[in-house]
Structures are given as C-alpha cells and as structure tokens.
Chain A
Amino acid sequence: MSETFTHRTPRARITAVTSGKGGVGKTFVSANLAAALAKRGERVLVLDADLGLANLDVVLNLYPKITLHDVFTGKNRLEDAIVPVAGGFSVLLAGSGMVEYSRLTPEVRDQLLATVEAVTPQFDRVLLDTGAGISDVVLYTISLAHEVLVVTTPEPTAMTDAYATIKVLATTQGRRSLQLVVNQVLKPGEGRTIRAQLQQVIDRYVSPSLEAPVTLDYLGDVPVDPAVREAVQRRELLLEVYPGTPAAQAILALAARIAARIAA
C-alpha cells in the first residue's frame, strides 16, 4: 500500500530535487550536493530527469557521447551512459534530442521507471534532477523518489512556485514531509524565515484538508556568494574549485543533515 517505492530499502535512497520555478539553482544544488555526499563516502548518481531542457551537462562542462536518449532508443546500454565525474559521483545525462520525451507517454514512463529501477542497486543515493514546473513528467519522476527536496530562493515568484509544488505533491502523492533548501539568501537566518512563511501557508491552506499535516523538513540555506557565479561560469563544481567559500560550506552542511536524516 506504499505510494512510492519505499519498500526497496536495500537499494539507493532516491531523492527528487525539484523547485517549481526554473533558475533557482536546482541543478547547481543537485550537482554540488552530490559532490558533498560523495565526500561523505556515499556512492551517488545524479540522473538528469529534466528530459525537455536538460542542463546538467552544461553545469558540469560535459560533452557526453552516450546519453539517456541513446539508452531509451536502444542504441546503447544503460551502464555505458553512466559517467563518473570530477566530484566523485556519477551522472546519467538526458542529452539533447530528448524533447520528444518531454511528454509523459507510456514509453517515457516505462523507460524512466526501468532506468531508475536499474541504477538503484549500484548506488547509495540517486538524485533525480527534475525539470522546472509541475508537468506530468515532473510529477511522475517525483513519484519514483523516496523523498523530495524542494529548492527555492527568497524571490516571491520562486516561493510561490515552491508552494504550488508542495501543495500538489501533498494532495496528489500524499507527501507529508518535504525537504527544503533555500538558495541565494542574502543574510543569515533568511532561509528559516522563508521556511516559516511557507509552513504558515501550508498549515492554513493545505494541511486542514488532509488526514495528517504537511511539514517542511528544513535542511538549510545557501548564501549568495560571488564564488558560485564564478564556478557556474567556469562550468565547474563549486565544491571542487572553491571548497572553502561560504556557499560551499553551506552545501557541505546540507549534505551532513541529509546523511543524518537517513541515520535517524
């Protein structure tokens, strides 16, 4: 009677990283969080599930020869598309030509499910970097994950879209706990304030119609940091090129909290 694949515990923990709004640093957070978790000894895979507009390759400066597209079309084997990267983790890139997969046809659904099923035995954690928005592809991808990590920024539009995403996931997937990361905060404590704002609206407008309340599991925030911009422009991992900066330290702290959630 589980609503996701939560009974497959010996396999990787699957975390969907989503945001509602694009441009909040979702892929940046996914990639650097993967590097931070890898530093903690986890075998991590980032799966670029943004099938329509994939950009994990851009963030990591990769020019993949074999992508998910080739796997989906049967041109290559799945294991050949899993690429180890500098951060000590692996990626599975969507690649270009995936536009035809941006609609949730039965084929896309089966392919996604088969891919996620096939990779989980080889890793401790799989991060599903979803596309922006709450399309049926995004919702389906999220339904494959044990937990959901919502990335937002203090921008009102980002907060609104994060809230809409949380609302949809709570009502359609029965999610009662969602992890929250607030990216690009300007001052210490801002992430907690954003979290309180979101939780307040959830308590008032979402939870009352459900059997159990929805709680945001606040993982922390990442400060605005010139090093992030620098790393993104160089198309390298922040954790690799500027590991000592405040933003990099914040990401390491997020990884520590995520690891503690599993241990608990």
Chain B
Amino acid sequence: MLFRAAAQSPTARLTLTLSATPASADPLPPSGAPAPAARVLKLEAALSLLSQSGHDLPVGEPGSAAWLQGLIDALCELSSRDALTGLANRRHFEMVLAREIDRVARAGEPALLLLLDIDHFKRVNDSHGHAAGDLVLKAVAEALLECVRPMDTVARIGGEEFAIVLPNCSPAFGPMVAERVRTKVERRPVLIGLTEKISVTVSLGGAFAPQWVRSNVRLWLERADLQLYSAKASGRNRSIFEPAVVSMVTAEEKGLLFSTSQFDDPSDESRDSHA
C-alpha cells in the first residue's frame, strides 16, 4: 500500500509550487523563472513523516486541493495519536476533555473521566527490558479499546498512564466500566518473548464532570487523579470513584471547626493581614 502510494507521488513532487490559478487546474508552474518563495510549499518532511509512521499517503493528483486536504488530515491524525499504541495522545485527549466539559455544561449529560496507571510498570522495564515494556503498553491499550464504546476516547497521556473519556455515561455505569477494564487487563498475560508471558494490573480513578457547571480541564483531571492516587495508595489493582456529593461534613471536620483552641488566638490576625 505504502509503495503504491509512493509510486503515485514521485519524489519530484515533494516540493510543490503553487500557481496563482486554483491548484487543481494546473499544479505545476511553467518551467523557467522560479516562483516567489511564499508560494513554494516544502512537503518532503511532511510526506516522509507520514510514510515513516506507516500512514497512507494522500490520494489524488499531487498539489490538488483534495490531495492537500488529505495531507493536512493525515498530519492532524498523526499529531493526535500516540506513536507507540496508536491511542489518542495527550494533546488530543485534552481537546476531547474540553469539548466534553462544554457539552456537560450545556446539556447536563453525565460524563466520566477514568485515569489509569499500570501497577509497578518500572519493574517490568527493569527486569524484562524496555522492549517488553512497550509490548505491555500496547497490550494494555488493546485491552482498553475492547472495553469501551465507539464514542469513548482512549488516550495514552503519560509513560504508563492512560485515560478514558466516556460521554453520556450514567453514574451507575461508571464503576462497571472501570471493573471491566481492570479485570480485562489482569486476565490478559502479555507475551514478551517466544514463550515468556507476564501479567500486569492497573489502578483506576474516576470522576464525573459536574453537571450543568462550566468546569475546566485542569480541575477535572485533578479530581480523577486524586482518586487514582487513592487506588494506588490503598493497594493497587482496584478502581476508586469520587464520592457523588462532597457536601457531607464529617465529625472530624466539625470537631476542628468548633475546637476552642483557635478562639481568641491573637495569631489569627496575621492570616487576615492581606484582607
């Protein structure tokens, strides 16, 4: 496929000179005087990036509007993907998250953000090598994709950290998805050599976008990350969700709120100094 596409787009076209007339009419200028610099597109880097990443090259007559659109689309696609796993990368993920926040604010649909992290991934790299680590990352990515709906976005957002954005996901459904992901990964040994298999587990943290409220990406990530941290801290290979409503005031909080030690404490004044 790659070779055929390359044959259709000879290397002579890697530098494309645009004429004043529509590109589709006559993509190549008459030979002779060099075109002004501003009209010359150097496409070599873009095309070799695409072919090196195994991407199909744009179809159609090189230089035509359709061909250029195809090239731009392919570059957009490339810049939104994680090179190793093919999942959405962090850039694309944050865009999806922002879009989802907007939708939740407008329509009030519940949306879930799941953050997950491979447990003890450093051990895999240390004892089996980075190539094995890469195989594990790919296997986890595949497992995640098998657990979600087409409308969900699965992303690799850090070394061994992944995220899933689930639009229109009811609160009851969230923990089910998380458990499905967790068990799917746990029950899928990864072949890292001719015969050697290793198993990994993941920890998950989940937080729903506050309905009707215009939140932001940083805050939503922070809330899900906090739950992921709890899942790690409480023993890994588990999923923890943010409690639905945080309006409850615990006895401990009340105890501190009404502790008399702070009353009439002159040191309070320092805290108010900026007010």
In A207-264, which residues have CB < 8 Å from any B CB?
209-211, 217-219, 257
Residues in B whose Cβ lies below 8 Å from that of A109: 108, 212
| Number of residues of chain A lying within 8 A (CB) of chain B | 43
Contact of B247 among A1, A167, A201, A211 (CB under 8 A): A167
Q: Which of A58-66, A69-77, A133-141 contacts B (4 or more CB under 8 A)?
A: A133-141
**Cβ A163 vs Cβ B275 within 8 A:** no
Q: Tell me the nearest residue of chain B to A218, going by C-beta.
A: B275
A contact face: mostly helix, strand, loop, or mixed:
helix
Residues of B contacting A3 with CB < 8 Å? 214-216, 219
Question: How far apart are B251's CB and chain A's nearest CB, in angstroms?
Answer: 11
Contact: B257 with A160, CB < 8 Å? Answer: yes
Interface size class of B (residues with CB under 8 A): 35 or more
Q: Separation in Å of the A19 CB from the closest CB of chain B?
A: 14
| Bound CA–CA A134/B247 (angstroms) | 8
* Complex Cα spacing A201 to B256, Å: 6
Chain B contacts for A156, CB-based, 8 A? 257-258
Given A164-B248, A209-B226; A218-B214 close (CB under 8 Å)? no
Judging by beta carbons under 8 Å apart, are B272 and A201 in contact? no
- A4 is an interface residue with CB less than 8 A from chain B: yes
A115 contacts B by Cβ under 8 Å: no
State the total of A-B contacts with C-beta under 8 angstroms.
103
Residue of B nearest to A208 (CB): B226
Given known A-B contacts A171-B246, A174-B219, A211-B222, A139 and B262 have beta carbons under 8 A apart = no
The reply to whether the CB of B211 lies closer than 8 angstroms to some CB of chain A is yes
Q: Is the CB of A192 within 8 A of B268?
A: yes
Contact A163:B215 (CB < 8 A) given known A109-B108, A168-B247, A193-B263: no
Q: How far is the CA of A162 from the CA of B53 in the complex (A)?
A: 56
Of A139, A164, A205, which is within 8 A of B213 by CB?
Answer: A139
Residue contact B213 to A173, C-beta cutoff 8 Å: yes
A196 in complex: contacting residue of B108, B219, B253, B265, CB < 8 Å: B265
Asked whether B262 lies within 8 Å of A196 as measured between CB atoms, the reply is yes
A1 near B216 (CB under 8 angstroms)? yes
Per-position contact with B for A1-30: 1 when CB-CB < 8 Å, else 0?
Answer: 111110000000000000000000000000
Contact B212 A167 (CB under 8 A): no
Cβ–Cβ contact A193 & B264, under 8 A? yes
Q: Does B123 sit at the interface, judged by CB under 8 A? A: no
The 4 closest A-B pairs by CB, nearest first: A196-B268, A174-B219, A172-B210, A143-B213
